[in-house]
Structure 1
Amino acid sequence: MTTTTPYQTAAPVRTLSITSFVLGLASIVFGWTFVAPVAGLVVGILALGREPLGKTFAVWGIVLNAVMLAGVAFFALLALVGMGIGAIALPFAWL
């Protein structure tokens, strides 16, 4: 009598999509401002094409990284406007 053991299937690969998601969460929680969100955005876009089973993680990673980059861009623009107003008002500081 021959006994056969059921074969094990490999777990679906979702490495890129989970990496994008984790980078998005970490960049928001730890305040990583530029490099991690850009890397997470690129990895998330790559994951959309390569990992169909990880689509949800990839989309959330893209959203989180894009939100972080938009926030950084907004505050950088706000800082530049503030420095411009300060530079314009500087001659009147001694009055």
Structure 2
Amino acid sequence: MTSTPYSATAPVRTLSVTSFAFGLASIVFGWTFVAPIAGLVIGVLALRREPLGRTFAIWGIVLNAIMLAGVIVGLLFAAIGLGIGFAFLPLAFL
């Protein structure tokens, strides 16, 4: 008597989970530029290629976008602060 084992393959969600992991890690560990961009690109690819991983892909895109927006706002504030600082630099020697 031979029996064939039931073999069901799990749905592939590699790209979507990777995007989610990049987004979560970039916020927790403070990765600011390369990881969120990579996670954003991978998340967009996952939306197109992995319909079963849609939730992870959307969360990955959202987390990576939040981190990139935070970096952009931080750089903007730093540039404004430097501009104000350099504007008042001649007054420091009076």
TM-score using structure 2 length: 0.96
Task: Write the deviation string for residues 24-47 of structure 1: whole angstroms up to 9, x where unpaired.
Answer: 000000000000000000000000
> Once the 2 structures are TM-superposed, how far is the Cα of residue 8 of structure 1 from its aligned partner?
1.0
Which residue of structure 1 lines up, in the alignment, with residue 88 of structure 2? 89
Find the counterpart in structure 2 of residue 61 from structure 1.
60
Displacement of 1:5: 2.9
Other-structure match for 1:37: 36
- 5+ residue gaps, structure 1, are none
User: What number of residue pairs does the alignment pair up?
Assistant: 94
For structure 2, the 5+ residue unaligned runs are none
How large is the RMSD of aligned CA atoms in angstroms? 1.0
* Seq. identity, %: 70
TM-score (norm 1): 0.95
